[in-house]
Amino acid sequence: LFIMYMAGNTISIFPAMMVCMMGWRPLQALMSLSATLKAMESSSRRALQGLVFLVGKGLGLALALYKCQAMGLLPTRPSDWLAFVTPPQRMEFTGGGLIL
Amino acid sequence: RQQYVGKLKFASLEASQGSKKLVVATEENVVAALNSRSGEILWRHVDKGTPEGAIDAMLIHGQDAITVSNAGRILRSWETNIGGLNWETSLDTGSFQGAALVGLPEAVKYVAVLKKAALSLHYLSNGHQKWVEHLPESESTQYQLLYSHGTGVIHVVGIVPQSHLNVLTFNVEDGEITKQVRVAAPWLGALQGSCAVVGEAVLVCVDAAARSLHVCALGTEQDMRHIPLQSLELEFADDFQARILATQPSVTSASRTQFFLQLSPSHFSLLQYKQGLLSHLRDFQQAALVSFATTGEKTVAAVLTCRSELKPGSSDGLHAGSTLEDARRQDSLTCSNQTYNINLYLVETGQRLLDTTITFNLEQGGARPQQLYIQVFLKKDDSVGYRALVQTEDHMLMFLQQPGKVVWSREESLAEVVSLEMVDLPLTGAQAELEGEFGKKADGLLGMFLKRLSSQLILLQAWTAHLWKMFYDARKPRSQIKNEINIDNLARDEFNLQKMMVMVTASGKLFGIESSSGTILWKQYLRNVKPGSSFKLMVQRTTAHFPHPPQCTLLVKDKETKMSFLYVFNPIFGKRSQVAPPVLKRPILQTLLLPIMDQDYAKVLLLIDDEYKVTPFPATKNVLRQLEEIAHTIYFYLVDAEQGKLSGFRLKKDLSTEEIWEVAIPTEVQRIVTVKGKRSNEHVHSQGRVMGDRSVLYKSLNPNLLAVVTESTDTHHERTFIGIYLMDGVTGRIIHSSVQKKAKGPVHMVHSENWVVYQYWNTKARRNEFTVLELYEGTEQYNATAFSSLDRPILPQVLQQSYIFPSAISAMEATITERGITSRHLLIGLPSGAILSLPKALLDPRRPEIPTEQSREENLIPYSPDVQIHAERFINYNQTISRMRGIYTAPSGLESTCLVVAYGLDIFQTRVYPSKQFDVLKDDYDYVLISSVLFGLVFATMITKRLAQVKLLNRAWR
């Protein structure tokens, strides 16, 4: 986390890689949720432990998203969608000019 | 680049067999020398395009060409071999009447210039003035004729119309008037044409009304002798001003005693006046043009006649067969089969010289010959050989050699291109076949499958043929391979970079020029186009709709009669289209090309006449039904510059119109000079601009926006101004108006996307300035899905900035690309002949004076008032274009590439890449390295895979 803070909000290859890792690790963990749960089968408070695990990983994911947002990698502004704005349809046709 | 000189005014051919050049002076104010073997320009000097540069006379003496230009203000002498200027002198003011070389018996030393009130004599060697003399009674007398024949005197003939002639005789040495004679001539109206000097200073005048000639020896006789022509049995045509053509082979000796008398437009007769006796030598009927030429002692007359179809099978007989009445019936001069003969006749006797016939053909529907120049030389066996330069009505120059061989021809009408369009070339046969398959109606599964197979087979065949041709070409030496382009193998290239340029010239000739090589593929002359007509060229159907041929429509409107007609043609082959255009009974004011199409994929053209009625073309039922449906969305605007009125019209269902708005611009104060809308084929990719804080500034892209420029009628430098109005063409609402004080035209303007750039002369600071206007809607779009001019509650924000430009400009245009992704550049034609490609980002009204964090984020260049001309931004390098009148841009198939044609006296075509070639691999792209690395890696993967397998197996064994 400290390293993430130190990396700053500029976009270059190392911070980007770090952010990717940061987002990917919780995702990976969530994917393997069932395996983790199987490992905890012996425990009595299985549900609680599972929930805490979920919340923790969720927090990690949210942190990664926040970092993305701070770096400006998330397409949240209208300017990010500008290239997909279609030109408005023309309702009237006009023509003419100087009298020949 | 192709260079032209324009329509000939004067020409001179050298009278020796070995000579290689001919010196011409043209109506485009150009003095040039052409290579008579190839027709190329040896040298060329371009004067101002205004009447100030007009060439009034050209005289040739030896190696020097003397020109008088700017209404007799400037006298210049050119060296004809290399085109250098020998000397230049300025003359006194006074309207120019004539110039002549003056010779003493031994040599030609002086050139005399006749003005309205004075006669001046200049040395040929250095241009210094020898003397200048005032002409007596110059208020009432028009001095028009100048004559000398090596006797040390100059005769000047002046006329008081319908009264008398004034004949003055000057001494060459000191300019003293030695004699002044007044000759009564109450029947004479003008000297030019109807009078000429023959023999030893004998003035011959023709009087068509009395059917007689009047003869007077200059300087000796007091009155004119009257010779009736009835005795010679010559018929005068009614209402034709008879003309006399004489020749003087050398200024040091007397003129020939023979002269041509033109009796009607096609009837000449060769007469002789010798020792007081008039004799008739020969009669030429059906002659289009006559000309004299001299070599050594022999003077010949060349006669250009039409080889009429009325007398078939006549190889040499030309004027014997058909009578004058027949000629009159076929519109006097029009030649039925466009075949002409040139014959030489010895002037002394009027005999036809043997073996001197040149027969040549003009294209069908071509123009009549207009001027004839003959270059005669004596062959070794003392017979006469000659070459002829013929200029036709459509400004084509032809250089002919015996026997009827066209040595070269030049299309000089291309020096005056008025309108230009670029049309895509058609697909190749195989591609077209494939396309056509989809166009046809489906006829069962099996049929379709068979059709597909056959078209694939054809493709395969074409491909193998292509391969074979490549193989064959590769074996030939490289120099022999020429990519000859002709009309049969015209095909679109991969990226649509070659196009057909359809050019309309002022003379009424249409050209189809292949854009990459500049070869003229077809030409078509419209006979009934008078000079000074206005043209409008529209592409109704492009080549995309196979198998329908592409279709272009040209609207020609006569300036005087105001009547107009449509000419519909195929822009690829130049053939007149089968489609019959509507007959236009009333003058057409404007046209409008609609995006709707009829069933043959031709766009609908609406023509508005002076009663504001609309004629659609093509006018099929389908079109009329479509028009009725969308009539309420069609609007017109008409701009009347003379009355200072802009008016808007709405189309009603019955194809009549209704005026809905009118804007008056008072003509006492200002006049409308240009009105520009947007180009209809323009695409704008980005709807807004991203600001530094990542919000969006939406562009105000009103497709109906007009930019109107007015100039003040007051041209005093303190009070002069120009006005800019941005108007909506549908509602007539003025969106923005501004007045630039102390500014003067000519205003050049480009209107595109959401911006307008115009250039003017600032009279206060005495410099050229650019002003750029940009329109933005703000950070919110009012209606993102549809644009309607009727529903725009918010006016757009207008941003404006001005820049200083170090040069005047002669033409301006913006680049255009297929999808509008590429950044825009302005192409600016400079008077020096260069084309500057200026990025639009340099003319951006959002350039900040103090750069901030946000503007840096946006990549805005800090404002600096002056725009510099960098020589590396010239897109035409050293291929300058003289007197550029316009630049045309067209998109190509590649998004990064824009085709540019600049026209003026020369024509230049190139491609520009405003954002570099981002969609094309670079020339130095290392195909070998990349592919070898790729293959190597694939190979290595395979090997390592195999090795890993072996290793696994070994481990399993252990």
pLDDT in tens, B164-214: 788 888 887 777 777 777 777 777 777 777 777 877 778 888 777 777 777
pLDDT of residue B947: 94
Q: Which residue of A has its CA nearest to B785?
A: A88
For the sheet containing B41-46, what is the strand order?
B8-13, B21-26, B30-35, B41-46
> At B481, is the pLDDT very low, low, confident or very high (cuts 50, 70, 90)?
very low
CA distances from A37 to A30, A60, B552 (A): 11, 19, 76
The whole-angstrom distance between B897's CA and the closest CA on chain A is 21
What is the DSSP secondary-structure string of B890-914? EE-SSTT-EEEEEESSSEEEEEE-T
The dihedrals phi and psi of B391, each to the nearest 5 degrees, come to -110, 130
Contact A85 B536 (CB under 8 A): no
Q: Does some domain include residue A16?
A: no
Q: Does some domain include residue A3?
A: no
The whole-angstrom distance between A100's CA and the closest CA on chain B is 6
Average pLDDT for A43-62: 79
Q: pLDDT digits over B202-234, tens only?
A: 888 877 777 777 787 776 666 777 777 766 666
Asked if pLDDT for residue B110 goes beyond 70, the answer is yes
Q: Where are the beta strands (DSSP E) in B610-695?
A: 614-617, 634-640, 645-651, 657-664, 670-676, 688-690
B contacts of A10 (beta carbons < 8 Å): none
- What CATH number does the domain located at B1-79 have? 2.40.10.360
- B75: Cα separation from own chain's centroid: 28
B contacts of A79 (beta carbons < 8 Å): 688, 690-691, 694-696
Contact B686 A82 (CB under 8 A): yes
Six-digit token string for B21: 């050049």
The dihedrals phi and psi of B891, each to the nearest 5 degrees, come to -75, 155
pLDDT of residue B325: 32
Q: Please check whether residue B580 is in contact with residue B603, taking contact to mean a CB–CB distance below 8 angstroms.
A: no
Q: What is the residue range of A52's domain?
A: 44-72
Give percent of chain B with pLDDT exceeding 90. 3
Q: Please check whether residue B296 is in contact with residue B313, taking contact to mean a CB–CB distance below 8 angstroms.
A: no
Task: Say how many domains are in chain A.
Answer: 1
Q: pLDDT digits over B459-473, tens only?
A: 788 788 878 877 776
Contact A88 B591 (CB under 8 A): no
Contact A92 B788 (CB under 8 A): yes
> At A2, is the pLDDT very low, low, confident or very high (cuts 50, 70, 90)?
low
A contacts of B608 (beta carbons < 8 Å): 96
How far, in Å, CA of B496 to CA of B431, rounded? Answer: 14
The dihedrals phi and psi of B851, each to the nearest 5 degrees, come to -70, 130
Q: pLDDT digits over B527-559, tens only?
A: 777 777 788 888 888 777 767 788 888 888 887
Contact A82 B704 (CB under 8 A): no
Instruction: Determine the residue type at B112.
Output: A
Contact A77 B588 (CB under 8 A): no
pLDDT of residue B950: 94
pLDDT of residue B233: 64
Contact B592 A91 (CB under 8 A): no
pLDDT of residue B326: 33
Top-confidence range, B92-101, B374-383, B546-555, B703-712: B703-712
Contact B594 A93 (CB under 8 A): yes
SS3 assignment, position B625: helix
SS3 assignment, position B938: helix
Q: Is the pTM of this model over 0.95?
A: no
Asked if pLDDT for residue B243 goes beyond 70, the answer is yes
Q: Please check whether residue B814 is in contact with residue B733, taking contact to mean a CB–CB distance below 8 angstroms.
A: no
Contact B592 A72 (CB under 8 A): no
The whole-angstrom distance between B612's CA and the closest CA on chain A is 12
pLDDT of residue B954: 92
DSSP B351: P
Contact B639 A82 (CB under 8 A): no
Contact B790 A93 (CB under 8 A): no
Q: Please check whether residue B166 is in contact with residue B176, taking contact to mean a CB–CB distance below 8 angstroms.
A: no
Q: Which residue of A has its CA nearest to B680?
A: A95
Q: Please check whether residue B825 is in contact with residue B813, taking contact to mean a CB–CB distance below 8 angstroms.
A: no
User: Any idea what the Cα angle at residue B803 is, between residues B801 and B808, rounded to 5°?
Assistant: 135
Instruction: Determine the residue type at B17.
Output: Q
CA distances from B688 to A85, B618, B735, B774, B780 (A): 9, 38, 19, 12, 10
Q: Does some domain include residue A21?
A: no
Q: pLDDT digits over B58-67, tens only?
A: 877 777 888 8
Average pLDDT for A61-73: 77
How far, in Å, CA of B537 to CA of B420, rounded? Answer: 7
How far, in Å, CA of B825 to CA of B844, rounded? Answer: 12
Query: Nearest Cα to B778, choosing from B698, B659, B714?
Result: B698
Q: pLDDT digits over B830-857, tens only?
A: 888 888 988 888 888 888 888 888 888 8
Query: Nearest Cα to B234, choosing from B188, B193, B283?
Result: B283
What is the DSSP secondary-structure string of chain A? -HHHHHH-S---HHHHHHHHHHHHHHHHHHHTHHHHHHHTTT-SSHHHHHHHHHHHHHHHHHHHHHHHHHHT-S--SGGGGGGGPPPPEE--EEEEEE--
Average pLDDT for B751-779: 88
pLDDT of residue B178: 79
pLDDT of residue B290: 76
Asked if pLDDT for residue B653 goes beyond 90, the answer is no
pLDDT of residue B331: 38
Asked if pLDDT for residue B807 goes beyond 50, the answer is yes
β B177-184/B195-198 pair status: unpaired
pLDDT of residue B330: 36
A contacts of B592 (beta carbons < 8 Å): 93-96
Contact B785 A99 (CB under 8 A): no
Instruction: Determine the residue type at A50.
Output: G
pLDDT of residue B951: 94
Average pLDDT for B399-404: 76
Average pLDDT for B315-320: 30
Q: pLDDT digits over B73-84, tens only?
A: 788 888 888 888
Average pLDDT for B416-429: 80
User: Any idea what the Cα angle at residue B746 is, between residues B741 and B748, rounded to 5°?
Assistant: 100
Mutate to test the interface with A, among B610, B633, B854 (most CBs of A within 10 A): B633
Q: Does some domain include residue A67?
A: yes
Residue B193, class by beta-carbon neighbours within 10 Å (0-12 exposed, 13-18 middle, 19+ buried)? middle
Instruction: Determine the residue type at B373.
Output: Y
Query: Nearest Cα to B1, choosing from B883, B897, B887, B881?
Result: B881
Q: Which residue of B has its CA nearest to A76?
A: B694
Q: Which residue of B has its CA nearest to A85?
A: B687
Q: Where are the alpha helices (DSSP H) in B712-866?
A: 853-857
Element (H, E) at B951: helix B927-957
> At B329, is the pLDDT very low, low, confident or very high (cuts 50, 70, 90)?
very low
Partnered with residue B640 across adjacent β-strands are: B645
B474: left (phi over 0), alpha (psi -120 to 50) or beta: alpha
Contact B784 A85 (CB under 8 A): yes
Which range has the worst mean pLDDT, B11-15, B575-579, B786-790?
A: B11-15
How far, in Å, CA of B707 to CA of B711, rounded? Answer: 13
How far, in Å, CA of B176 to CA of B226, rounded? Answer: 31
Average pLDDT for B111-128: 81
Mutate to test the interface with A, among B558, B635, B663 (most CBs of A within 10 A): B635
pLDDT of residue B515: 80
Q: Please check whether residue B67 is in contact with residue B54, taking contact to mean a CB–CB distance below 8 angstroms.
A: no
Average pLDDT for A62-82: 75
A contacts of B700 (beta carbons < 8 Å): none
The whole-angstrom distance between B11's CA and the closest CA on chain A is 35
CA distances from B939 to B196, B933, B934, B935 (A): 94, 10, 9, 6
Q: Which residue of A has its CA nearest to B590?
A: A96
Q: Higher pLDDT residue, B222 or B905?
A: B905
User: Any idea what the Cα angle at residue B286 is, between residues B284 and B291, rounded to 5°?
Assistant: 60
> At B591, is the pLDDT very low, low, confident or very high (cuts 50, 70, 90)?
confident
- A81: Cα separation from own chain's centroid: 16
Which range has the worst mean pLDDT, A28-32, B84-88, B640-644?
A: A28-32
Which range has the worst mean pLDDT, B178-187, B466-475, B486-495, B700-709?
A: B486-495
Mutate to test the interface with A, among B689, B704, B754 (most CBs of A within 10 A): B704
Asked if pLDDT for residue B438 goes beyond 50, the answer is yes
How far, in Å, CA of B644 to CA of B659, rounded? Answer: 16
How far, in Å, CA of B343 to CA of B400, rounded? Answer: 13
Average pLDDT for B889-914: 85
Q: Higher pLDDT residue, A27 or B776?
A: B776
Q: Which long-range contacts (CB under 8 A, 24 or more apart) does B108-111 make?
A: B108/B61, B108/B251, B108/B252, B110/B172, B111/B59, B111/B66, B111/B75
Q: Please check whether residue B339 is in contact with residue B409, taking contact to mean a CB–CB distance below 8 angstroms.
A: no
B36: left (phi over 0), alpha (psi -120 to 50) or beta: alpha
Element (H, E) at B292: strand B287-295
Q: Please check whether residue B185 is in contact with residue B193, taking contact to mean a CB–CB distance below 8 angstroms.
A: no
What is the DSSP secondary-structure string of B415-433? GGEEEEEEEEPPPPHHHHH
How confident is the prediction for chain B on average, in pLDDT?
78
CA distances from B190 to B143, B187, B229 (A): 10, 10, 20
CA distances from B439 to B432, B442, B493, B546 (A): 10, 9, 22, 8
Average pLDDT for B674-684: 83
B73: left (phi over 0), alpha (psi -120 to 50) or beta: alpha
Asked if pLDDT for residue B322 goes beyond 50, the answer is no
Q: Please check whether residue B253 is in contact with residue B237, taking contact to mean a CB–CB distance below 8 angstroms.
A: no
SS (H, E, C) B35-86: ECCCCCEEEEEECCCCHHHCEEEEEEECCEEEEEECCCCEEEEEECCCCCEE
Q: Which long-range contacts (CB under 8 A, 24 or more apart) does B120-126 make?
A: B120/B91, B120/B92, B121/B154, B121/B172, B121/B175, B122/B75, B122/B89, B124/B61, B124/B64, B124/B66, B124/B77, B126/B87
What's the start-to-end Cα distance of chain A, in Å? 74
Q: Please check whether residue B861 is in contact with residue B847, taking contact to mean a CB–CB distance below 8 angstroms.
A: yes
Check: complex ipTM more than 0.90: no
Q: Does some domain include residue A56?
A: yes
pLDDT of residue A96: 75
What is the DSSP secondary-structure string of B564-592? EEEEEE-TTT-PBPSSPPPP--S-EEEEE
How far, in Å, CA of B132 to CA of B893, rounded? Answer: 66
B contacts of A73 (beta carbons < 8 Å): none
